[in-house]
């Protein structure tokens, strides 16, 4: 009707053409307006009315379409900060939706303690199992690894009749917590650092370029990664792994730089840059596992041998075992290489701090420059600068969040959280709380750890920041990083030895490298692409 009337009134073909185009465009406009109106109603319902009806549920950070996936992907920490401001500060847990999943976010330190205490209805195993599945473990293996074992089984003691998946946490602690097994690993690190920190070995890494008989030039991020992955690999697996493939560290690094794709569980057709090197690392670990333990060269850490024996005892085949050991290789290597890079970057950009670090650690070396007592470096009362630089570096460059699956409806921070959703504690937000860490929390100021500017936020008044419940560089509770002692030992020992034997100088005048805050990692941030910088390493006279 409308079209016909228009044609008659104007009597021109031109107008009738406009009319024929105008009808769909008017209809389209009405359709879009209708959609927008419905969207507005939905948004008012979901983010204004529902929270009013159910004040005991965490408030959700509103979105239009379709969820916060894009912001989460581009800058998840920025998104979390905005969401926290929206709900009015850090006092109550809130919710946000990304990638079809609802996450409850806990940013108050008291609520994070409730989170870590709750091992009944908040499950870490779900996260581990999803990684196992994603990286190639079959369902039968996951099932057998998470089936309870008899209390009197052979091998590692199992007094509570747990599954190997749960027992693995105790095995990690048995290897890494202070005691004989940790000292054995630390001594391996000592021998490795003492023996390999010479110009010939340091110049042999793929990224190093020789600058004559007394110096080399290296891109610091890449070179630190090569060095630390080799260290981790040799200390845990012995020399056999390098003999199978000397390029294994390079393949691991290629995978590790794309690790965020694994955390977001990208489909394989979109993530060849991550899956190809990952599969290569797993294939070489599989070859390693084919070599009988008695024929492997160099010493292998207790954890690797024990894990292999326990897995084989419950019938896990070599293909699946290689994926399990790959996760250990990942835990050993993903964070220390980056932590070492950041420590060195801060020192090289702060010559006074570097001099203090060097002076404090001098007593660890013998007259001929040999690494005689690396344990001294771990003593915070004798090496306060080392301790403060380590903590401040972890604070500035730590990214990790603890994530759990809610297996039954749960109340945290007075808010009711539904079964099937995930709950997270983003550690980075805790670490920038000026009320706890003192003024200018976004600046690198190791002094905040030495002068004890602020009292503990648990009210103890002890003033020891490292004991504050807001300090979570290694997570917390049952799943707190068991490798934290070895990580500190390896990084501080290697850095001290490097400074004892070499002078380090920036090539040119590069700015301090930017961290890649957007992409998720399992602990320490990578640098932004293109931010690596060159350093000249020369023998000290
Ligand atoms: C600077 C270095 C490191 C950082 C920043 C770091 C950080 C973390 C974080 C944040 C977690 C998660 C905790 C949670 O979800 O509650 C974790 C777990 C873990 N880390 Fe580390 N880590 C480092 C080095 C290491 C090293 C060298 C190892 C050696 C194997 C290691 C082994 C583990 C293991 C096995 C877990 C899982 C906890 C468990 O199931 O027992 N980490 N780490």
pLDDT score for 8: 33
**Cα distance between residue 515 and residue 525, in whole Å:** 6
The residue out of 74, 90, 117 marking a domain boundary is 117
Ligand 1, atom 32, residue with closest C-alpha: 483
Do 347 and 229 lie in one domain? The reply is yes
pLDDT score for 5: 35
Do 68 and 165 lie in one domain? The reply is no
Do 88 and 148 lie in one domain? The reply is no
pLDDT score for 326: 98
Q: Is residue 509 part of a domain?
A: yes
Kindly report the CA angle at 368 between 367 and 373, in degrees rounded to 5?
65
Do 352 and 277 lie in one domain? The reply is yes
Q: Is residue 406 part of a domain?
A: no
**Cα distance between residue 3 and residue 349, in whole Å:** 74
Q: List C-alpha distances in Å: 14 to 4, 21, 226, 449.
A: 14, 11, 72, 79
Ligand 1, atom 28, residue with closest C-alpha: 483
CA 333 and chain centroid, separation: 11
454: DSSP letter: S
Ligand 1 atom at minimal distance to the Cα of residue 303: 30
In a structure prediction context, what are the per-residue pLDDT tens digits for the chain, which is 541 residues long? Answer: 333 333 333 434 444 444 445 567 888 898 889 888 888 888 888 778 888 888 888 888 877 665 555 666 666 667 777 777 777 765 789 988 876 778 899 988 889 999 999 989 999 988 899 899 999 999 999 999 999 999 999 999 999 999 999 999 999 999 999 999 999 999 999 999 999 999 999 999 999 998 888 999 999 999 999 999 999 999 999 999 999 989 999 999 999 999 988 887 778 888 899 999 999 999 999 999 999 988 888 889 999 999 999 999 999 999 999 999 999 999 999 999 999 999 999 999 999 999 999 999 999 999 999 999 999 999 999 999 999 999 999 999 998 788 899 999 999 999 999 999 989 888 888 899 888 999 999 999 999 998 754 444 444 434 588 888 889 999 988 889 999 999 999 999 999 999 999 999 999 999 999 998 877 788 999 999 999 999 999 999 8
Query: 172 C-alpha vs ligand 1 centroid, how far in Å?
Result: 10
Ligand 1, atom 5, residue with closest C-alpha: 523
Q: What is the ipTM of this complex?
A: 0.98
Q: Is residue 343 part of a domain?
A: yes
Kindly report the CA angle at 92 between 86 and 97, in degrees rounded to 5?
60
Do 99 and 231 lie in one domain? The reply is no
Q: Is residue 332 part of a domain?
A: yes
Ligand 1 pocket member 339 (CB < 6 A): yes
Q: Is residue 340 part of a domain?
A: yes
Query: 484 C-alpha vs ligand 1 centroid, how far in Å?
Result: 7
Query: 482 C-alpha vs ligand 1 centroid, how far in Å?
Result: 6
**Cα distance between residue 463 and residue 516, in whole Å:** 31
Q: Which strands, in side-by-side order, build the sheet including 422-426?
A: 59-60, 94-98, 101-105, 422-426, 401-406, 122-123
In sequence order, what are the residues at sequence separation of 6 or more whose Cβ sits closer than 8 angstroms to the Cβ of residue 202? 196, 208, 216, 218, 227, 537
Ligand 1 pocket member 275 (CB < 6 A): no
Do 242 and 201 lie in one domain? The reply is yes
Q: Which of 303, 427, 481 to mutate to test the pocket of ligand 1 (most atoms within 8 A of CB)?
A: 481
In sequence order, what are the residues at sequence separation of 6 or more whose Cβ sits closer than 8 angstroms to the Cβ of residue 524? 334, 335, 338, 339, 342, 394, 397, 398, 399, 400
The residue out of 117, 148, 179 marking a domain boundary is 117
Query: 449 C-alpha vs ligand 1 centroid, how far in Å?
Result: 22
Ligand 1, atom 17, residue with closest C-alpha: 481
The residue out of 89, 117, 145 marking a domain boundary is 117
Ligand 1 pocket member 303 (CB < 6 A): no
Domain that holds residue 337: 136-398+473-539
Do 54 and 84 lie in one domain? The reply is yes
**Cα distance between residue 140 and residue 195, in whole Å:** 44
Ligand 1 pocket member 483 (CB < 6 A): yes
Q: Where are the beta strands (DSSP E) in 64-190?
A: 94-98, 101-105, 122-123
Structure pTM?
A: 0.87
Query: 414 C-alpha vs ligand 1 centroid, how far in Å?
Result: 29
Do 65 and 157 lie in one domain? The reply is no
3-class DSSP assignment, residue 219 = strand
Do 210 and 271 lie in one domain? The reply is yes
**Cα distance between residue 140 and residue 21, in whole Å:** 61
Ligand 1 pocket member 115 (CB < 6 A): no
Concatenated DSSP letters for 342-362?
HHHHHHHT-HHHHHHHHHHHG
Do 90 and 226 lie in one domain? The reply is no
Q: List C-alpha distances in Å: 204 to 1, 212, 229, 463, 517.
A: 83, 13, 14, 46, 31
Do 161 and 263 lie in one domain? The reply is yes
499, 358 Cβ separation under 8 angstroms: yes
**Cα distance between residue 156 and residue 168, in whole Å:** 10
Query: 169 C-alpha vs ligand 1 centroid, how far in Å?
Result: 11
Query: 363 C-alpha vs ligand 1 centroid, how far in Å?
Result: 30
> What's the total number of domains in the chain?
2
Query: 277 C-alpha vs ligand 1 centroid, how far in Å?
Result: 22
Do 381 and 527 lie in one domain? The reply is yes
Which CATH number covers residue 284? 1.10.630.10
Ligand 1 pocket member 474 (CB < 6 A): yes
Ligand 1 pocket member 123 (CB < 6 A): no
């Amino acid at each position: 009707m409308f079209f016909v009337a228009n044609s008659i009134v104007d009597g021109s073909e031109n107008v009738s053409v406009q009319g024929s185009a105008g009808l769909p465009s008017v209809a389209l406009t009405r359709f879009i307006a209708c959609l927008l109106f419905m969207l507005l109603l939905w948004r008012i319902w979901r983010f204004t009315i529902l929270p009013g009806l159910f004040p005991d549920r965490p408030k959700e950070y509103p979105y239009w379409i379709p969820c916060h996936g894009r912001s989460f992907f581009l800058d998840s920490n920025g998104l979390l900060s905005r969401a926290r401001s929206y709900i009015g500060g850090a006092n109550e847990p809130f919710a946000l939706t990304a990638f079809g999943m609802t996450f409850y976010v806990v940013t108050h330190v008291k609520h994070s303690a409730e989170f870590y205490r709750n091992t009944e209805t908040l499950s870490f195993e779900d996260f581990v199992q999803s990684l196992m599945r994603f990286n190639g473990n079959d369902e039968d293996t996951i099932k057998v690894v998470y089936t309870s074992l008899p209390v009197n089984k052979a091998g590692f003691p199992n007094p509570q009749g747990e599954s190997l998946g749960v027992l693995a946490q105790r095995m990690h602690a048995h290897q890494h917590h202070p005691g004989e097994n940790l000292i054995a690993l630390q001594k391996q690190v000592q021998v490795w650092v003492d023996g390999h920190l010479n110009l010939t070995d340091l110049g042999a890494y793929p990224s190093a370029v020789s600058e004559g008989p007394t110096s080399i030039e290296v891109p610091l991020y890449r070179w630190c990664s090569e060095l630390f992955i080799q260290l981790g690999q040799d200390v845990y697996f012995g020399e056999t792994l390098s003999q199978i493939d000397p390029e294994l560290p390079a393949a691991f690094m290629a995978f590790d730089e794309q690790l965020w794709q694994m955390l977001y569980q990208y489909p394989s057709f979109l993530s060849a840059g991550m899956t190809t090197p990952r599969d290569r690392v797993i294939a070489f670990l599989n070859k390693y596992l084919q070599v009988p333990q008695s024929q492997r060269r160099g010493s292998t850490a207790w954890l690797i041998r024990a894990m292999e024996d326990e897995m084989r005892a419950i019938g896990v085949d070599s293909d699946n075992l290689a994926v399990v050991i790959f996760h250990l290789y990942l835990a050993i290597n993903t964070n220390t290489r980056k932590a070492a890079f950041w420590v060195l970057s801060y020192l090289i950009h702060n010559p006074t701090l570097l001099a203090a670090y060097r002076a404090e650690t001098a007593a660890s070396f013998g007259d001929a420059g040999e690494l005689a007592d690396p344990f001294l470096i771990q003593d915070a009362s004798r090496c306060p600068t080392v301790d403060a630089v380590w903590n401040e570096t972890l604070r500035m460059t730590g990214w990790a969040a603890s994530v759990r699956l809610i297996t039954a409806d749960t109340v945290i921070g007075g808010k009711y959280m539904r079964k099937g959703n995930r709950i997270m504690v983003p550690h980075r937000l805790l670490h920038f709380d000026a009320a706890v860490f003192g003024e200018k929390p976004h600046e690198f100021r190791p002094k905040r750890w030495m002068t004890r500017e602020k009292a503990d936020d648990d009210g103890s008044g002890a003033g020891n920041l490292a004991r504050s419940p807001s300090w979570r560089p290694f997570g917390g509770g049952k799943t707190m990083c068991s490798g934290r002692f070895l990580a500190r030992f390896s990084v501080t020992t290697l850095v001290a030895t490097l400074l004892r034997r070499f002078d380090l100088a920036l090539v040119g005048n590069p700015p301090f490298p930017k961290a890649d805050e957007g992409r998720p990692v399992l602990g320490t941030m990578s640098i932004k692409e293109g931010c690596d910088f060159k350093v000249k390493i020369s023998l000290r006279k």
